[in-house]
Amino acid sequence: MTDRRRINGPPGGTRPAIFASSLDSASTATARPQRQRQPNDLRKIFLKTGLIPSASGSAYLEFEPSASLAAARSSPQSLIPPSSALKLACTVHGPKPLPRSATFSPNLVLTTHVKYAPFAARRRKGHIRDASERDLGVHLETALRGVIVAERWPKSGLDITITILEAEDDRWWGDAPDSHDSPWGMLNVLAGCVTAASAAISDARIDCLDLVAGGVAALVSDESEEGKDAKPKLMLDMDPAEHKAIVSACVVAYMPSRDEITELWLKGDSSKASLAADDKRLAHDALIDGAVDAARGAHTVLAEAVRESAMRFAGLTSGDNAA
């Protein structure tokens, strides 16, 4: 039965013909954003906690757009931006008692819910969660389950909800629809979800073993040596719109203090990839090490955000005691 109270938009993005016809092949080829950072450089991250007073803990995370995207926004030549940046909000509700109808649990029951906003991606998302959103929720729950001290709250539940306001693109919009078979943008989304959820859990004053941060690394073929059997290069914090040929990518949830990985997700075929001569490591080992290095960089921002949250909480507590 159709919902007559809601008018849904088209499932896919639409492009005005007058602008699409004016884009020839030459201008389209030069419109692809180019990576301005070094392979080991990470994008800047904005992370803020305590933005939603009604929740037990909350966090907002945003990635700095690439230099080419910032230039395109300042002097736009087309209505279609070259790439997107990651923006998401996380809320934590709990710990709260489980309903009486639920079975007894000696540990904290963790529930994760990841949902794209309808306008988050180029292809419009529906109001019901699809398979990719459910996969992100499962990976996020696995990453956080090894961090929270669950035995502190028996017969209790913790709900973590993440709303993705702007998602990373899986590819550049000018590429062919089948140019990238794997949704590479989901890896950056998962890394941001892990980092934001860890900040929100700390803002909710929930005991954890350590702060967990997400990091992404990818093996990218050099476009300048296309057709010459180019060796893949390791790129940290890759933007799928900036690279034409991504061999494989990896995302990890990493706890620096304990030197432990709570979640590992690798996509692509790295078994047949051979790195450049200056890197003799195996492809999958290099991917994991690069993702861990990216997670260490995100952990510095996460630790600073948690420190600001603790200072804000200490100020509020001292003010209440004085009153």
Distance CA(198)–CA(12), nearest Å, equals: 33
pLDDT of residue 17: 53
Residue 305 carries which side chain, given as an amino acid letter? A
pLDDT of residue 247: 87
What is this structure's pTM?
Answer: 0.83
Residue 13, phi then psi, degrees to nearest 5: -70, 150
pLDDT of residue 241: 82
Question: pLDDT confidence of 27, banded at 50, 70, 90?
Answer: very low
Average pLDDT, the chain: 82
- Residue 114: count other Cβ atoms within 10 Å of its Cβ: 26
pLDDT of residue 185: 87
pLDDT of residue 26: 45
pLDDT, tens digit (0-9, with 9 covering 90-100), for 239-267 = 888 888 888 899 999 999 999 999 999 98
Distance CA(164)–CA(183), nearest Å, equals: 16
168 DSSP 8-state letter: P
In the predicted structure, residue 20 carries a pLDDT above the cut 50 = no
pLDDT higher for 224 or 157? 157
pLDDT of residue 28: 47
pLDDT of residue 68: 54
Q: Is 257 helix (H, G, I), strand (E, B) or coil?
A: coil
pLDDT of residue 21: 45
pLDDT, tens digit (0-9, with 9 covering 90-100), for 211-237 = 999 999 999 886 544 445 567 889 999
CA dihedral 115, 121, 127, 129 (to 10 degrees): -50
pLDDT, tens digit (0-9, with 9 covering 90-100), for 83-106 = 678 999 999 998 999 988 888 899
**How many residues belong to the chain?**
323
Q: Using a pLDDT cut of 70, give the percent of the chain over it.
A: 73
CA angle 38, 40, 43 (to 5 degrees): 80
**234, 226, 224, 227: which is closest to 274 by C-alpha?**
234
- What is the Rg, in whole angstroms, of the alpha carbon atoms belonging to the chain? 21
Domains and CATH numbers, the chain: 37-73+80-314 (3.30.230.70)
167 DSSP 8-state letter: P
pLDDT, tens digit (0-9, with 9 covering 90-100), for 31-88 = 677 788 898 999 999 999 999 999 999 999 999 876 555 555 555 555 566 667 899 9
Question: pLDDT confidence of 275, banded at 50, 70, 90?
Answer: low
Mean pLDDT on 304-322? 80
In the predicted structure, residue 293 carries a pLDDT above the cut 80 = yes
pLDDT, tens digit (0-9, with 9 covering 90-100), for 188-213 = 999 999 999 999 999 999 999 999 99
Distance CA(277)–CA(286), nearest Å, equals: 13
pLDDT of residue 284: 82
